[in-house]
Structure 1
Amino acid sequence: MAISIDNFSSPPSSKSHATQIFLRILAIGTTLSAACLMFTNKQATVVYGIPVDARYTYSPAFKFFAFANIVAFALSLLSLILVFLMGRKAASSTHYFCLFLHDLIITTLLMAALAASWAIAYVGKFGNSHTGWIQICDHFGKFCNRGIASTLLGFLGVIIYLILTIVSANQSRQIRA
């Protein structure tokens, strides 16, 4: 005799539900802050008598990072609303599994964006003598510092979403028999 898992539901524990809400609020804050810092990241200076400016839009990796954080922010806001709704009624493990997939996809998106941003930030900070790329952070300190702050906030967002993925996976497998 086969028992369908979808017929059973268990209400989330209040501690787990509060953890979900708290972490999603943190994720909203970090992803929005990282995106805002990157979107407003620009600096103009004079290098060897030539006026030069640096903007996040000059790098596809920085643009990807900024837009990935905006997408993560919007989906975090949506998932926060869904978690509130799921807490009011008994949600099935299928709902939590969908939330797990959502968190896993956002974690992967943020990791990809962070890796791209970090690679370009590294080249900007240290250059690459083998390819002839010079370091720019000694000329664009404000630009580099804001980029590093944005990237660190992005790293914090990845960690938060990794924890959310684990919590969601745990909730999706907890069913009452």
Structure 2
Amino acid sequence: MDSSGAKFEQNPPLKAQRIFHLAQIFLRLFAIGTSLAATCAMASAKQSVVVFGTSFEARYSYSSAFKFFVFGNATACGCTILSLFYVFVLGRQQSSSPKKYFFLFIHDLVTMSLVISASSAATAVGYIGKYGNNHIGWAAVCDNFGKFCNKIVVSFTLSYFSFLSLMILTIISARRSTQIQV
């Protein structure tokens, strides 16, 4: 009877560890997919229109905030791919040190910060493009460049999903690294 009680007590931590590991993998894959899709959507966003006989073109590369968005999400995607390999290595080890999860926490925190800063900068410029600013004299351009603006909105949405995934990963990694013994 004692041996079955001992087995029962050991199974929940192993099951919890497996669920934790699978959640890490799923969230990282989701962050990779959404940040890659956001990068591709923004990088392919361009449109040309003719207004009063003059041709105008909108591209992501005309805005430094949109360039930062593309490079920030692409970098986050690459870093998250690297962290996915690291999680696979940690998952294969029977006893993972909390210090290894601390490095994962720092990585997730920096990656999450990069994504939210790139998304915020691009969203600010996108807001001005959508609504303009009458006080400064900036006109809204999304009335003329609807296809371009719609692609950008999709890109922003995907990037914010990537941010949410990375935020959850940061919280999970922080929780896991709190077991560090000083």
With structure 2 as the length reference, what TM-score do the two structures score? 0.88
Structure-1 residue corresponding to 2:162: 157
1:158-177 matches, cutoff 5 A = 158-174=163-179
**In the alignment, which of 119, 123, 128 is matched to residue 123 of structure 1?**
128
The runs of 4+ residues in structure 1 deviating greater than 3 Å are none
1:94-117 Cα shifts (integer Å, max 9, x gaps): 100000000000111111101101
What is the DSSP-based 3-state SS (H/G/I as helix, E as strand, rest coil) of the residue aligned with 1:79? helix
What is the DSSP-based 3-state SS (H/G/I as helix, E as strand, rest coil) of the residue aligned with 2:50? strand
**In the alignment, which of 136, 146, 150 is matched to residue 141 of structure 2?**
136
- Computing the radius of gyration from Cα coordinates, the structure with the larger value is 2
What is the aligned residue count? Answer: 167
User: Per-residue deviation at 1:151?
Assistant: 0.5
Structure-1 residue corresponding to 2:96: 91
Going by fraction, where is helix more abundant, 1 or 2? 2
Alignment of 1:65 onto 2:57:
no
1:8-37 Cα shifts (integer Å, max 9, x gaps): xx9871111111000000000000000000
Identity of aligned residues (%): 47
Alignment of 1:47 onto 2:51:
yes
d(CA) in 1 for partners of 2:69, 2:18: 34
Which structure 2 residue ranges, 5 or more long, are not aligned?
1-12
d(CA) in 2 for partners of 1:131, 1:175: 53
Higher RCO, 1 vs 2 (CA within 8 Å, ≥6 residues apart) = 1
What is the DSSP-based 3-state SS (H/G/I as helix, E as strand, rest coil) of the residue aligned with 1:13? helix
1:56-106 Cα shifts (integer Å, max 9, x gaps): 000000000000000000001000000001000122111000000000001
Structure-1 residue corresponding to 2:7: none
Q: Which amino acid aligns with 2:17?
A: S
8 Å contact from structure 2 (residues 102, 177) kept in 1: yes
Q: Which amino acid aligns with 2:86?
A: L
What is the DSSP-based 3-state SS (H/G/I as helix, E as strand, rest coil) of the residue aligned with 1:133? coil
Which structure 1 residue ranges, 5 or more long, are not aligned?
1-9
With structure 1 as the length reference, what TM-score do the two structures score? 0.91
User: Per-residue deviation at 1:173?
Assistant: 1.5
